[in-house]
Amino acid sequence: MNDASTLTLFAKQHNIEGLTEPSLKALIANEVGYTIDKAQRFLAFQKRINEELLNHPVIVSNHYCNWFEQGHQNKAQISAFVVQFSVFSNLFLIAQLHKTINADTLEGMHASKEILANEIGVIFNGQNTAKKTKDDLNAATNPDIVSTEGSVEGGQFRFKAAHFEWLYRMAQKLGLEFNDIGKRRHGTESTLFFCDELTRIYGNEDYLISQAASYAVENWAAAGFWEQLIKGFDKFNDTSDIKLPLGFFTWHALIESQHAAHTQEELEELYFNRDIDEDKFIYYGNEMLNGVAEFWDGLEKQRRTLAD
Ligand SMILES: [Fe+2]
């Protein structure tokens, strides 16, 4: 019998179908914290998460992205969007730094630093970049080819690989200058509310609260908004004489599709290794998604004021 069918049979016998492979393997191996009873409790918790968290309007239907995808934006609407996204991109660094400082294990701190260092320009030391010669390093900061895999450990720092600079290059094509983007003063009330909620909840010093926010944010990111934005930008580029470089968005779409696979495994690992206050997890997950929704609702309101 192969590995996969052993796991399926084991899950069936114990009425725990739906768990990811790493959890089933840990159960079979009798790892500390992994019991059949806990597995069944997790599945009941997962059902609650599906019903009480993942049904959030910002995951199920995002009005702004549904509009954006159609590609009918005028230049003012596109510019306004890039400015708000640049504020989010910069202020996200503050939330990520809080998350790093508040990590309660060295491993957790490393995971947070991976994201933080990569945001500011450390290129992942992945397969794609490892192949490049020195001459290619300038090109290697281009989001169209820079690696989405690997670690910042041993990776190269390049100013031009900072995600903010990818957005800046896009903004320049729209006639925006460095001081037109990325600062707190450029954010609308909704954008700032979202960024502050990220720092407060995602960067919280209570590990469970920050994990609830991470899980919520990952599920939001995996819900397809990057692809919707890319579709809208592609249509804008097709019909306009401005050709926006989309690397910031295509790179993030790619990395999110890789994250999505791990999000569920991480939740199970958290559940089996810690005693979770389930109500608290769902409460803070929703608080975080309310912050995310405020960001998109603010963009929706703003684009209406900028309509032709
Ligand atoms: Fe980023």
Going from the Cα of 255 to the center of ligand 1, the distance in angstroms, rounded, reads 9
CA 245 to chain centre: 21
pLDDT tens for 35-91 read 999 999 999 999 999 999 999 999 998 999 999 999 999 999 999 999 999 999 999
Going from the Cα of 252 to the center of ligand 1, the distance in angstroms, rounded, reads 7
Residue with tokens 């999000």: 263
Going from the Cα of 34 to the center of ligand 1, the distance in angstroms, rounded, reads 35
Going from the Cα of 88 to the center of ligand 1, the distance in angstroms, rounded, reads 10
**Cβ atoms within 10 A of the Cβ of 57, count?**
13
Going from the Cα of 165 to the center of ligand 1, the distance in angstroms, rounded, reads 10
pLDDT for the residue numbered 131: 46
pLDDT tens for 198-221 read 999 999 999 999 999 999 999 998
Q: Give the residue extent of every domain in the chain.
A: 63-121+162-305
pTM for the model stands at: 0.91
206: left (phi over 0), alpha (psi -120 to 50) or beta: beta
Going from the Cα of 63 to the center of ligand 1, the distance in angstroms, rounded, reads 23
63-121+162-305 has CATH 1.20.910.10 classification: yes
3-state SS, 169-231, equals HHHHHCCCCHHHCCCHHHCCHHHHHHHHHHHHHHCCCCHHHHHHHHHHHHHHHCCCHHHHHHH
One-letter amino acid for residue 286 of the chain: N
Going from the Cα of 35 to the center of ligand 1, the distance in angstroms, rounded, reads 37
